Amino acid sequence: MGARGRMRASLPLVFILLAGCSSDIYVRGGVTDGDTFHLAPIALTDTDPVLQSWVAYSLARSACQLEIGGENPARNSSFACETLARGILADAWAEQRAEEPGIGDRYLDALVKVRDAGFLDAYTAYFFERDGWQVPDDVDIDSFAVWRRQHLRRHRARTRIIGYWAYRQGGRATHTQNAR
């Protein structure tokens, strides 16, 4: 089983573990912080295909951040995690569309198109790259740029996280609660 398969297999367990977490949200320097990812309650009740696709992305990304580890997983970011999560997002949306052929979402439809064209890694690097990411040398940004000009005119990349990071009960006293 590949990395994507292992991640998919672990998502139900992650979902169960995250669903029972407290709802305290902490910020440091205006950025959500924490060592535990909490799934938003709406994810448990709203069956909207777009929302559920973003739930899959949120869980995949947060699980990957937790695998990286460290004192504050909320701040972890890597090319591999983002590419994996975007791939799971595209897969989830494609599955949702297969179940309900009449649905559409401009961003998610475009992401599936990117994936199907074989440019998901270049797309991720182009639109989401951060300092410290290690993008493999074989990621073909130049070919993607040519393809992008033809197939993604006026495209706006999106990220929608269905949940939030916080510290476990009894977390660090130096953090303040964010009233959202």
Q: For residue 152, give the amino acid letter.
A: L
pTM (2 decimals)? Answer: 0.77
Contacts with 44 (C-beta within 8 Å, 6 or more apart), sequence order: 19
Least confident of 13-22, 64-73, 94-103, 121-130: 13-22
Whether the predicted pLDDT of 87 surpasses 50: yes
| H or E segment to which residue 39 belongs | strand 36-39
E strand or H helix that includes residue 12: helix 3-19
pLDDT of the residue at 170: 52
pLDDT of residue 32: 62
On the 0-12 / 13-18 / 19+ scale of CB atoms within 10 A, 69 is exposed
Q: How far apart are CA 35 and CA 70, in angstroms?
A: 9
Q: Does 60 have pLDDT greater than 90?
A: yes
- pLDDT at residue 73, rounded to an integer: 84
Instruction: Quick: pLDDT tens for 114-163.
Output: 999 999 999 999 999 999 999 999 999 999 999 999 999 999 999 998 88
6-38 residue pLDDT tens: 344 444 434 433 443 333 434 444 446 778 888
